[in-house]
Amino acid sequence: MREQRKNHASDIIYESTSWGGIVDSEKTEINTVGNCDYIMILAAVTIWGGSFAATKYALGQADPMLVIWLRLIIGMPVLLAGVMFEKSLRLPAKEEFLPLFLMGFQGIFFHQAIQSYAMRTAGAGNANWIMMAAPAFVAIFGRIFLKERISRTGAAGLILSAAGVSVVIALGTIKESVSGNFGSIGDLIIFLSVINWAVFLILSRRVLKSDLPSCFAIFWEMLFSLIVCTPFTYAIGCDFSVIETFTWQTWASVIFLGAFSSALAYIFWLSALSVLPVAKVVVFQFIQPLAGAVIAYFLVGERFTVWLFVGGAMILAGVKLVNKR
């Protein structure tokens, strides 16, 4: 799938050439990008936008580490189907093994674990605010390590989208209460997870630029993550017997987290990341709180205000600026 798309005619751009909101300061091959890539990014952030409600349901009956283990187990068959469809099922080459293992540990197991445990003391509102820093870190790291320089238009788009997220989080919904002050241990861990996620995206972009198929990459990253997670889950004494008591809502939540949030969303995200600069992809994460608010309206009846539409328009306009050709 990815290799076929990469065989399309490409343009060679040079240091002074701007590619929309991103300027590539190396002599780089830019692959043909279609609407399919943007649809996949939107699908990924929409899925992740609904993952908070699913996680909340699942954690009501299970330990965070058990939830992570289950979502990895459930996600693996989906990823196996992906690599078979992509016709990329094989063992990693010697030079691929270590990067895929490290990315699986860092970007999947470690990332999901620290976020799950951080939410025990971090307010959900605080976490959303802190996660807004991810695109900034990605833009900085992308400039340093990938030589992808963001233009003034791209920077303006990032700022506009960040402001839109602020409006959505602060004014978009009618809340019973507000989160506490910043500074809890959970808040600090969430901030570390933002940096961790930014590093993972940079590493993923570097690996995928070597024409490594996206389904193949995420399949082995997830498998290595599962291999690490399984003994760790037993070591900390997770109670597996609670699985027998899961309600259908808990099972639906875990299946959603595994098949969609941990498998399909990662496939979509890495597939787009293989042909787009990281800053162009990560700006779409600003849509995640907007998607979450809309999903919360339909699932739990959370009411929203006109400011949700104002903030949403700002987010979409900012995303458009960053991805302007």
Q: Which residues are CB-neighbours of 291 under 8 A, at least 6 positions away?
A: 45, 46, 48, 49, 50
CA–CA distance, 158 with 319 (Å, rounded to integer):
7
What are the φ/ψ torsions at residue 22 (nearest 5 degrees)?
A: -120, 135
Beta bridge partners of 28: 13
pLDDT averaged over the chain? 76
Give the pLDDT confidence of 221-251 residue by residue, as tens digits: 999 999 999 999 999 889 999 999 999 989 9
Identify the weakest region by mean pLDDT among 11-25, 143-157, 188-202, 278-292: 11-25
Work out the percent of the chain whose per-residue pLDDT is above 70.
73
pTM: 0.74
Q: Is residue 2 scored above 50 in pLDDT?
A: no
Give the pLDDT confidence of 115-126 residue by residue, as tens digits: 777 766 655 555
pLDDT at 125: 54
pLDDT at 16: 29
Q: Is residue 28 scored above 80 in pLDDT?
A: no
Angle at 55 between CA 53 and CA 58, to 5 degrees: 115
Taking residues 256-282, report their average pLDDT.
Answer: 86
Identify the weakest region by mean pLDDT among 48-52, 206-210, 259-263: 206-210
pLDDT at 18: 36
pLDDT at 36: 85
Model confidence at 85, pLDDT cuts 50, 70, 90, reads very high
Q: Which residues are CB-neighbours of 280 under 8 A, at least 6 positions away?
A: 20, 21, 22, 322, 323
Can you give 180-205 as a three-state secondary structure string? CCCCCHHHHHHHHHHHHHHHHHHHHH
Q: For residue 153, which amino acid is it?
A: T
pLDDT at 101: 93
pLDDT at 292: 72
